[in-house]
Amino acid sequence: MVPPASMFGNVPGYEDTLAGGGGGYLPPPMPLHPNRDPEPAPVQQDWNIPSITEDVARERFIMYASGYCCYNNAPAKDGVITNMQAFNTYRYRLETFTESRSTEWATKPYEGEPADFYTQTAPRPWEIPVTGPSLFQNHEENIKVPYTSSNKPCHTCSASGKMPCHECNGSGTKACWVCNGSGRRGGDSPCSQCNERGKENCSKCHGNGTKECETCKGKRQLLTYINLKVEWKNNVEDYVVEQNSGLEVNNLSDVTGKTLFKNAQYMLYPVYGFPDPSLSQASDRLVREHQAKYSQNSRILQQQQTIELIPITKVTYKWKGGIHVYYIYGNEHQVKVPDYPATCCCSIM
């Protein structure tokens, strides 16, 4: 049950704070650091990745096939590799680490805490000091805003600490499950389960007809206060240069590549002058979008951009007169087989 609005007071600076639904994300104050024109990112030149050997390609293919009970590993063991072609590609990743704050009126069972409402002026949401996590780590904290708490009678149970038991509708008893309330079983035999009463004590409330109020936990009083939710989030977005190998880009999300460039600062400058112009264009677009989007209702704490060269090898092989392909990609040498040529229909009983 949502508490009535009358339970909560009026706190300067928190006029839009709602019960249970929050007051929305609060615009941050001016940036902690003054804006300045950052320096263009340097570009590294060592962009080569050694090609994998046929032995590595075959070994990874055999391991892949052995991981499936329905795959015959003959194609992996006996297939003849006819071609290995590199389609190494670039991945640009932008991370924007933000802090956002929102408020809502909250309640908890009253346990004797001091009620400090209006004893001093409550600090504004962005004035409350909070220790954040390490950079680029998601985390959330809930903090009771000082000088906003007061104790009130529980609105759910009318300060009784108890509520009618829903299982027995407050009667404290239920029809006997053995005799279905008749008091007899098997004709004229008395029911020993309920001693011929036709009913037995409710197991949920132990025959009391009432249960402890779930809102106040039997305390009869509630502590009302403004809860400040602080959320740190690493907002990540990738751009992968098209490589035309036939391997879908979403396969690359779980692998790593060779890091060519990495840069972190408060507000980033896009990467310019990269050999592939589409990557520079993506960097310019994403940096602008992130800075515009995440500065509205959150505080940007740090940005980081990375360029990786992800190895992709397309392996063509021949088996039983047919031509087939598979891919090996990432530093982890992951394997993707679009159409394995020797499978069986098996089922788990």
d(CA 283, CA 97): 17
When pLDDT is averaged across residues 222-229 and rounded to a whole number, the result is 95
Sign of CA dihedral 7, 13, 17, 22: negative
C-alpha dihedral over 165, 168, 169, 173, to 10 degrees? -110
| Ranges 2-6, 15-19, 57-61: which has the least confidence | 2-6
How do residues 56-106 score in pLDDT, each as one tens digit? 999 999 999 999 888 999 999 999 999 999 999 999 999 999 999 999 999
How do residues 150-199 score in pLDDT, each as one tens digit? 999 999 999 999 999 998 998 999 989 888 888 888 767 898 888 888 88
When pLDDT is averaged across residues 143-152 and rounded to a whole number, the result is 94
Amino acid at 196: E
Give exposure, 107-123, as e/b (b: 16+ Cβ within 10 Å). Answer: bbbbeeeebebeeeebe
Give exposure, 214-223, as e/b (b: 16+ Cβ within 10 Å). Answer: ebbebbbbbb
Given pLDDT bands bounded at 50, 70 and 90, which one contains residue 23? low
How do residues 246-304 score in pLDDT, each as one tens digit? 999 999 999 999 999 999 999 999 998 888 899 999 999 999 999 999 998 899 999 99
At 164 the three-state DSSP class reads strand
Q: Is the pLDDT of residue 1 over 70?
A: no
d(CA 154, CA 162): 10
Q: What is the mean pLDDT of the chain?
A: 88
DSSP H or E stretch at residue 91: strand 89-109
Residue 349: what pLDDT?
40
Phi, psi of 77 (to 5 degrees): -85, -40
Q: Single out the residue of 12, 5, 21 nearest to residue 117, CA to CA.
A: 12
When pLDDT is averaged across residues 11-31 and rounded to a whole number, the result is 71
